[in-house]
Amino acid sequence: MMRLAERLRCKGRLGLVPTMGYLHEGHLDLVRRCNRLADSTVVSIFVNPAQFGPKEDLSRYPRDFGRDRRMLEKEGVDVIFCPNAAAMYPRGYATWVDVERLTEGMCGRFRPGHFRGVATVVLKLFNIVRPHVAVFGAKDWQQAAVIRRMALDLDTGTRVVVAPTTREKDGLAMSSRNSYLTAKQRAEAPALYEALVTARGLVRAGEKNAEKVKQRALAVIRVGSSGKVQYVEVADPDTLEPVRRIAGPVVVALAVWFGRTRLIDNIVCVPR
Ligand code: AMP
């Protein structure tokens, strides 16, 4: 991969889209964005064991390489990079990337070690491919913030681009994990986006009290679904620090369990 990437980066701008596979239209939107920004696009498919907790869904995470390959071929991707875990973490592996502060709240609070695994694998991918540009999704807002920080702090020289969340017609953010949902859970899941839109409406209308925004979002989820809320947070979009009094743009982010399936989503809200 390093030799191939080196050849591509000599010919023009090289782009990278890191994924865990089981691709959907959201991933393809990132690929299309990358194709526009770069002359060649590498898509990595790697279900990174380092970012899953011991009780999480690593072993049942959905995989379908044949389908992924067909989808990527249609988009005109130059290289699909799918290393195995032993190649990425050989015996004796001992080096990790810890991004401070940004990883403390939101998902970081409930998934200890998750962002350490994410930052580490993304830095490794950046070092292997050495892309001029890498595209990530706003769907994983905290992840994008962590990677932006890591790329800046560790001088990777890669431009980190964050593309908007691609949604189903009913508002549900596309996710490989949506395939876990039962028909009933799938029917209820759009309540998350409704909650976020409600929150954005309040902020736009001038609500300054973050707790009130949070409570309204929670109420929408409770009324519209059987999902168990893990968190709803109102935070600064860049530092991810919790906000109590809304005086500028905020991100409202949430994580909700539907049975054994954990869904996340977020929305940026700008007060008038
Ligand atoms: P994953 O395969 O879930 O690790 O995601 C790979 C990349 O795709 C990450 O940068 C995600 O943020 C991004 N992504 C996942 N779902 C969406 C979506 N619905 N819209 C936009 N980007 C997404």
Name which of 90, 102, 172 is nearest 142 in CA terms.
102
CA of 208 to the centre of ligand 1 (A): 31
* pLDDT tens digit sequence for 4-49: 999 999 999 999 999 999 999 999 999 999 999 999 999 999 999 9
| Residues labelled catalytic | 27
**Closest ligand 1 atom, residue 20 Cα:** 2
CA of 167 to the centre of ligand 1 (A): 11
* pLDDT tens digit sequence for 219-240: 999 999 999 999 999 999 999 9
* pLDDT tens digit sequence for 153-188: 999 999 999 999 999 999 999 999 999 999 999 999
* pLDDT tens digit sequence for 259-270: 999 999 999 999
> Rounded CA gap, 202 and 122, in Å?
36
Name which of 105, 119, 117 is nearest 153 in CA terms.
119
* Confidence label for 121 from pLDDT (cuts 50, 70 and 90): very high
pLDDT at 6: 97
Tell whether the model's pLDDT for residue 272 goes beyond 90.
Answer: no
pLDDT (average), residues 117-141: 98
Percent of the chain surpassing pLDDT 90: 100
CA of 80 to the centre of ligand 1 (A): 16
Q: Model's pTM, two decimal places?
A: 0.98
Which residue minimizes the CA distance to atom 6 of ligand 1?
19
Inter-axis angle of helices 114-129 and 141-153, nearest 10: 50
* pLDDT tens digit sequence for 39-48: 999 999 999 9
Tell me how far apart the terminal alpha carbons of the chain are, to the nearest angstrom.
48
The DSSP result for 155-179, as a single string, is T--PEEEEEPPPB-TTSPBP-GGGG
